[in-house]
Amino acid sequence: MKRFIRQFILVGLVGVCCFASRSFADIPYLQGFETDTNDWTAYLWMDRVASGSGPLGVSSFQGSYHAVISNKQDAYSAGLGQAGYTYFGNPDATYNGDFFAGISLYVNTNWATGGGFWVDQSPRGTNDATAWDDEQHFKLDVQNPGTVRVTFSGGALPVYLNESGWYTFLETFRRTGPDETDLVQNDFLVFDEAGGLVAARTIQAAWRVPCWAGTVISG
């Protein structure tokens, strides 16, 4: 987890959904920050701001508001910060079938070289309230000015974002067989603001059945 140079992260929309129900109306949890920032815990602070305001003055991804979350340096360990996390509403210890979790973030390609942060998405297992099963991540960082590199768990090929804007990072969790001991397979999908698919990667994870989901932003 590299030190996050730019302090603010803009969050537009987060949600979790079973594969069988894909419409917004059927998503079990959806937070668009239109009324509050409930279900998020920030290590330093998190604000809900109107479209066009906030530190970058950008329009919200959807609706009239989005959230700004600040990274707290050294909160994870020396040189490694933490921003915040959500459990997508109330944790559910029952596995209800394959599902996906997504988050929309504003990516600023004008970040300084060396800047970056992680988006970790991980369900917990029912065997232990503190055990994270199938923890995977999107990592965003800047190696060359004007380009944000996105890398994925498992060594999948990176994708490079050259235009600032809102991007949605979605990860699927699906079991490879009918038994609880079967491994989980993950897809990593990146969409641009218009909904166009920017990247799709699949990895085979050596993890077991997922149960409830959580997302952590850190840098």
Tell me the pLDDT tens digit for each residue of 165-177. 999 999 988 888 8
pLDDT digits (tens, 9 = 90+) for 171-217: 988 888 877 677 788 899 999 999 999 999 988 765 655 454 555 55
Contact at 8 Å (CB) between 196 and 67? no
Output the six-digit token pair for 8. 């603010």
Q: Name the DSSP class of 133.
A: P
A 10 A CB-CB count for 77 gives 9
Return the bridge partners of 46, or none. 69
- DSSP classification of residue 26: G
Coil/strand/helix, residue 217: strand
pLDDT at site 93:
64
212: which DSSP letter? Answer: B
Handedness of CA 42, 45, 50, 54 (dihedral sign): negative
Tell me the HSE value of 153 on the side-chain side, using a 13 A CA sphere.
22
Q: What local confidence, expressed as pLDDT, does residue 134 receive?
A: 77
User: Per residue in 27-43, pLDDT tens?
Assistant: 778 888 999 999 899 99
What is the end-to-end Cα distance of the chain in Å, rounded?
Answer: 6
* pLDDT for residue 153: 87
Mean pLDDT of 133-140: 84
Q: Which amino acid is at 199?
A: A
C-alpha of 9 from chain center: 11
In tens, the pLDDT along 88-117 reads 877 666 667 788 888 999 999 988 888 788
Q: Quote the mean pLDDT of the chain.
A: 79
Q: Is 201 helix (H, G, I), strand (E, B) or coil?
A: strand
Helix (H) or strand (E) holding 69: strand 65-70
**Does residue 24 sit in helix, strand or coil?**
helix
Q: Find how far residue 54's CA is from the centre of its chain.
A: 20
**Is the predicted pLDDT of residue 131 greater than 80, yes or no?**
no
